[in-house]
């Protein structure tokens, strides 16, 4: 009876540990996606996976913003073109956020 009670207790503890691991992974994914919304590429670092993707995404976003600010923006005249030329940065932002959301352990 004592061995059976210990096995049952061990089984319950393993279920609880598994449940906590799933909750932790879900929490980590949510935090990574939210952080990636604010700073594209940072979600990869917070999630702990794909550091290269994080660096590439961050540099693409920053370099495009610099390119947009100092080269494209001074040469545009209409507000419509300001918005149209910023679409690649928005695509980089959304794509990196979706890639962070799709990361698995």
The token pair at 98 is 């979706």
Tens digits of residue pLDDT in 72-90: 888 777 777 778 888 888 8
Residue spans of the domains in the chain: they are: 2-101
The pTM of the whole model exceeds 0.85:
no
In whole angstroms, give the CA distance from residue 67 to residue 52.
22
Sequential pLDDT tens for the chain (105 residues): 688 888 999 999 999 999 999 999 889 888 988 998 998 888 888 888 788 888 999 999 999 989 888 888 887 777 777 788 888 888 988 988 888 888 776
For residues 96 and 83, give the distance between their C-alpha atoms in angstroms, rounded to a whole number. 20
Residue 60 in contact with residue 84, Cβ under 8 Å? no
CB 100, CB 50: distance < 8 Å:
no
d(CA 47, CA 5): 38
């Amino acid at each position: 009876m004592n061995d059976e009670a210990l096995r049952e207790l061990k089984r319950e503890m393993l279920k609880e540990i598994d449940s906590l691991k799933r909750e932790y992974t879900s929490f980590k994914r949510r935090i990574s996606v939210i952080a990636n919304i604010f700073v594209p590429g940072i979600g990869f670092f917070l999630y702990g996976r794909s550091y290269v993707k994080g660096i590439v995404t961050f540099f693409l976003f920053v370099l495009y913003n610099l390119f947009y600010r100092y080269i494209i923006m001074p040469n545009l005249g209409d507000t419509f073109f300001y918005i149209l030329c910023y679409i690649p940065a928005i695509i980089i932002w959304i794509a990196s956020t979706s890639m962070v959301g799709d990361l698995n352990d």
